[in-house]
Each structure stands twice: as structure tokens, then as C-alpha cells.
Amino acid sequence: MSIKTWKKEFYPSAALCPKTIKGRIKHSLRKWLGLLPKNLKKHNLKQVGWSLVSKKCNEMEHNFIVDGKTCSLCRKNSIKNNCKNCIFTLNIGRCDEPHGRLPSLYSTWVVRHNPEPMIKALWLLLKMKEAGILREAAQ
């Protein structure tokens, strides 16, 4: 098991591939489910900061960076627009900023190795889309 097998299971297509909002949410959710410790262990990976690396090798070509470039939601709107048009930001709040007294969802994973708050937020976003109550940016 390796980065290659992890990608096959949890990141089989590039972040820009999904064309619909629902598809982008599902793409992001799938990636974050892959960041659960049990799934990293299954693929013999470890988290180092915001990267996944093979437990056998720390060489850069064997890693995967978890950032805006590998996020379907970010790739659609937020990289050029500072997150203001991101459906995540419009409905949940920025993933990279603290939520009240709580740390950001992204930093909770980076620092505490806990992807569950992000997973819960993405599930909520998906349910909002399916219920037809998702706020979307004006085009």
C-alpha cells in the first residue's frame, strides 16, 4: 500500500474534474475520509504537517499535499477569490479560519491529525445541497 493506492481509493481524479457543486462536495468529502487515521494506516501512510507520506520513504515525490490545490471546492472558486465565493465559506464559514473559540477545521487536521470536523462539515454541506438549501455565489 502506498500514496498510489490511497489516491486510487480516495483521490482518483484531479480536483478540477467534478463539474457540479454536488460532485465537488463529494470529491472533497472522499479525500477527507481518506485522511482518517485508519485509512492512512491501511495504505501505510503517515501525516507530516499538511502532507501525506509513505512510512517507508520521506522523499518528496512520494507525498500528497492537502491544500487548496487538491480541494475541489477551492479549485472552483476560492483560489482566485480569497474564498469569498466558495460554497463552503458561504454556508459553513472559511475552513482555514477559527470558528469562534475553536481552531479552524483545516488546522484541526494539520495540528491534531483529526479530519472529523471537516468531514462533518462536508457531510452537512452535501445534505444542504441535496435539500436544496445550499447558498451559492451569484455568478
Domain range list for the chain: 3-131
| pLDDT for residue 138 | 67
Q: Give the angle subtended at the CA of 109 by the CAs of 72 and 127, to the nearest 5°.
A: 50
Q: Which residues contact 15 (CB under 8 A, 6 or more apart)?
A: 27, 69, 70, 71, 72, 74, 75
Strand stretches in 1-139, DSSP E: 45-48, 51-54, 63-65
Confidence of residue 33 (pLDDT cuts 50, 70, 90): very high
29 confidence band (pLDDT: 50, 70, 90): very high
Quick one: what percent of the chain has pLDDT higher than 90? 69
The whole-number pLDDT of residue 82 equals 72
pLDDT digits (tens, 9 = 90+) for 69-114: 999 998 876 555 678 888 999 999 999 999 788 899 999 999 999 9
Over range 41-47, report the average pLDDT: 95
